[in-house]
Amino acid sequence: MKEELRKYHADSFGWALQCCGRNREMAEEALQQVYLKVLEGKARFNHKGPFKNWLFVVIRNTVRDLQKQKKYASVQVQEDMVPSAQAELIAKEEAQQLQQALQQLSPQQQKVLHLVFYQDATIEEAAAIMNISLGSARTHYQRGKQKLKMLLENQRSEL
């Protein structure tokens, strides 16, 4: 079990960040709680699907519990350090534009797109992780992609 947690740590942290609205402190706390739940046997893998999907569901539920505690009611976006190289600066600006556009999507659209593009999940897996119907996941995915494309095109035309 520890090896599986280690294997998916980077992906798990990325998913936790997404679920926490990019609040790094909350994501770290949620992931710590998830690992404790798993290692102490409070969350048990039932082997009915991929371990990663199950782990992402545990993360999502743990974040939801933390949010209910209202300890992390205000979401903070962490500012990144300014890179020195020009190429890094351009990449950074593009990443910021993408992040700004993503933040304009609905939370469900953000989560589906994150799972599909950053976690290599299928839409079916994203639906299971998010505990929504496949049709709903497909709708969030399609609408999210369309809106994201439109937002990015608008940003570029403003430059």
Can you spell out the DSSP letters for the chain? -HHHHHHTHHHHHHHHHHHTTT-HHHHHHHHHHHHHHHHTTSS---SSS-HHHHHHHHHHHHHHHHHHTTTT-S--PPPPPPPSSHHHHHHHHHHHHHHHHHHTS-HHHHHHHIIIIIS---HHHHHHHHT--HHHHHHHHHHHHHHHHHHHHHHHHH-
Does any domain span residue 112?
A: yes
In this predicted structure, which of 14-28, 65-79, 90-104 has the lowest mean pLDDT?
A: 65-79
Does any domain span residue 64?
A: yes
Does any domain span residue 62?
A: yes
Percent of the chain with pLDDT over 70: 85
- Kindly report the CATH number assigned to the domain that includes residue 21: 1.10.1740
- Kindly report the CATH number assigned to the domain that includes residue 147: 1.10.10.10
Map tokens 């990144």 to a residue: 80
Residues 90 and 154 in one domain: yes
Instruction: pLDDT band for 118, please (50, 70, 90 cuts).
Output: confident
Does any domain span residue 80?
A: no
Residues 148 and 95 in one domain: yes
pLDDT digit string (tens) for 32-75? 999 999 999 999 888 888 999 999 999 999 998 888 886 655 44
Residues 57 and 109 in one domain: no
Round the average pLDDT of the chain to a whole number and report it: 84
Domain count, the chain: 2
List the domain range (segments joined by +) for residue 93.
Answer: 86-158
Does any domain span residue 96?
A: yes
Residues 153 and 90 in one domain: yes
Rounded to 5 degrees, φ, ψ at 14 are -60, -40
Does any domain span residue 148?
A: yes
Residues 61 and 95 in one domain: no
